[in-house]
Structure 1
Amino acid sequence: MKNLILFFSILYSLNMYSQEKPNYPEPEKGMKRVDLKLPKIENNKEYKVEIRFGIEMDVSECSDINNFSFNRKNLEERYGISPSRFPYYVLPKEIPVEVLTFNKPNCDETKKVKKKVLSSQNIFREYNGYYAIPFYIPEKWTVEYRLWKVDSEFKNVEK
């Protein structure tokens, strides 16, 4: 009898976790869903992922702009399965974008060019190549990422 109860308990728990799929909402109007799917690599514990957001803007040809002001607090983490499984991230539809520009001297500032600028604040996550991470972002935004190799040893700080 104990074996039968144990068998059904294991079967129930396997069924419960194997059948559940994350429930991601449809994007709102003016938003899009972008899935960050990382390539499979060996030793994924040795890597971190840096995530930034991009916008294509019209800027002066003289401008040395590289990034725009972004506050990580605007990025809301939610879950596809409550309370804490399958995270996805949501940015508000209307985020003010502040750009600081420094122009080159002796340059015609009236000429405009399209340039992709990235968010100023980096978001680092553990590497995960097993499932895609959805981002709900404004339609004109992009999600950019790069991988960082981590030195696994901690070094002692000397005086």
Structure 2
Amino acid sequence: MVRIFCFVLLVTGIYAFGQEEVTYPEPKEGFKRVDIKLPNIKNEVDYKVEVNFSMMHEMLDCEKGSFTLPDFETRYLKPPHAYPYYVIDENNYEVVVGRSGTCSSKKVQKKIYSSNPIFIEYNSIFTYRYYVPKNINVEYRIWKAEPHFTEVK
């Protein structure tokens, strides 16, 4: 009975102390943290993830727009390479609006996308964390590569 109790105590201790609790920093004022946790799939090496950023912007109904974010800075909870997260420190971005033909003067809210998406490796084990301004949304889509290359002649 003592052996069983010691064994259970040992297993419980290993489990309790083996779970490393990671606490990421709180976002600064005017910013939010967005976590991307990808589902498990077979052959993850055949996939890439495109991360893009969007926001609502008021413009004329015939206009199209995009915006450019500053570069993300990669930071680590445990330098040099453990627990990375990605941060935009500044809430400044440039919105570019294009117009085709003549427009009415009616203004509408439209969703516009960043002109600089990010491509990352597919990894269902790791959670990708982004710190972005509150008015910016983080979206992603999954790309699948063909299993073979086409030779150029």
Indicate the TM-score class for this superposition, using the shorter chain for normalisation: 0.7 to 0.9
In terms of fraction of residues, the more strand-rich structure is: 2
Written as runs of structure 1 = structure 2, the 5 A alignment for 1:24-43 is: 24-43=24-43
Q: Note the residue ranges of structure 1 that are not aligned, 5 or more in a row.
A: 1-13
The runs of 5 or more residues in structure 2 that have no matched partner are 1-13
Letter in 2 for 1:102: R
Alpha-carbon deviations, 1:96-125, whole Å to 9, x = none?
A: 2231322332x21x2111111111112110
Matched, 1:130 2:125: yes
- TM-score of the superposition, structure 1-length normalised? 0.77
Residue 99 (1) aligns with residue 96 (2): yes
Q: Does 1:85 align with 2:82?
A: yes
- Runs in 1 of length 4+ with deviation above 4 angstroms? none
Contact 1:50/1:123, CA 8 A, preserved across alignment: yes
1:20 maps to which residue?
A: 20
What TM-score, normalized to structure 2?
Answer: 0.80
What is the aligned residue count? 139
CA gap of 1:101–1:117, structure 2 versus 1, over 3 A, is same
Q: Distance in 1 between matches of 2:119 and 2:148?
A: 19
Q: In structure 1, what residue type is equivalent to 2:58?
A: D
Cα distance in 2, alignment partners of residues 22 and 78 from structure 1: 14
C-alpha RMSD of the superposition: 2.2
CA–CA distance in structure 2, aligned partners of residues 135 and 114 of structure 1:
25
Distance 2:82 2:68 in 1: 30
**Percentage of matched positions with identical amino acids:** 40
What is the SS of the residue equivalent to 2:93?
Answer: coil
